[in-house]
Amino acid sequence: MTVLALMSGTSLDGMDLVVARLASDGPSVRAEVLERVSAPYPADLRRRLVAALEEGAADLRELTQLHAEIGHAYADACGPVADRHALDLIALSGQNVYHVPRVDEQRGWRTRSTLQLGEAAHTLERCRVPVACDFRQSDVAAGGQGAPLVSFGDLALHWRPGVARAIHNVGGIANLTWLPPRLEPGAVVAFDTGPGNCLIDEAVERSFGAEYDEDGRIAAVGRVDADVINALMRHPYLALPFPKTTGREVFALARLERDLGLSFGALAPADLVATLTAFTAASIAHAYEQLRRDRPLDEVLVAGGGAANATLMSMLRERIDVSVHTFDELGMVSKDREALAFAVMAYMGFTGRAGTLPGATGAVRAVVAGKYLWPQALDPWTTDGASA
User: Which domains does the chain show, CATH number per domain?
Assistant: 2-373 (3.30.420.40)
Q: What is the mean predicted confidence (pLDDT) over 106-110?
A: 89
Give residue 10's pLDDT: 78
Give residue 349's pLDDT: 95
Q: What are the helix (H) ranges across 292-335?
A: 310-319
The pLDDT > 70 percentage for the chain reads 98
Query: pLDDT of 271-290, one tens digit each?
Result: 999 999 999 999 999 999 99
Query: pLDDT of 220-237, one tens digit each?
Result: 999 999 999 999 999 999
Question: Given a cut of 60, is residue 147 above it in pLDDT?
Answer: yes
- How far apart are alpha carbons 70 and 77 in whole angstroms? 10
Question: Given a cut of 70, is residue 254 above it in pLDDT?
Answer: yes
Q: Of the candidates 297, 103, 291, which has an alpha carbon nearest to the alpha carbon of residue 190?
A: 291
Give Cα separations from 213 to 45, 158, 207, 208, 251 (angstroms): 21, 29, 11, 9, 18
Residue 157, CA atoms < 13 Å, CB-side half-sphere? 29
Query: pLDDT of 73-86, one tens digit each?
Result: 999 999 999 999 99
Give residue 334's pLDDT: 85
Q: What are the helix (H) ranges across 24-91?
A: 43-52, 60-84
* pLDDT band at residue 185 under the 50/70/90 scheme: very high
Neighbour-count burial of 343, counting CB atoms closer than 10 A to its CB (0-12 exposed, 13-18 middle, 19+ buried): buried
* pLDDT band at residue 383 under the 50/70/90 scheme: low
Average pLDDT across the chain, whole number: 93
Q: Of the candidates 236, 283, 284, 230, which has an alpha carbon nearest to the alpha carbon of residue 259?
A: 236
Query: pLDDT of 110-143, one tens digit each?
Result: 999 999 999 999 999 999 999 999 999 999 999 9
* pLDDT band at residue 384 under the 50/70/90 scheme: low
Question: Given a cut of 60, is residue 312 above it in pLDDT?
Answer: yes
Q: What pTM was estimated for this model as a whole?
A: 0.88
Question: Given a cut of 80, is residue 56 above it in pLDDT?
Answer: no
Q: What is the mean predicted confidence (pLDDT) over 153-173?
A: 95
Q: What is the mean predicted confidence (pLDDT) over 80-106?
A: 94
Give residue 382's pLDDT: 75
Question: Given a cut of 90, is residue 315 above it in pLDDT?
Answer: yes
Give residue 388's pLDDT: 52
Strands 371-373 and 131-133: antiparallel
Phi and psi at residue 134, in whole multiples of 5°?
A: 55, 60
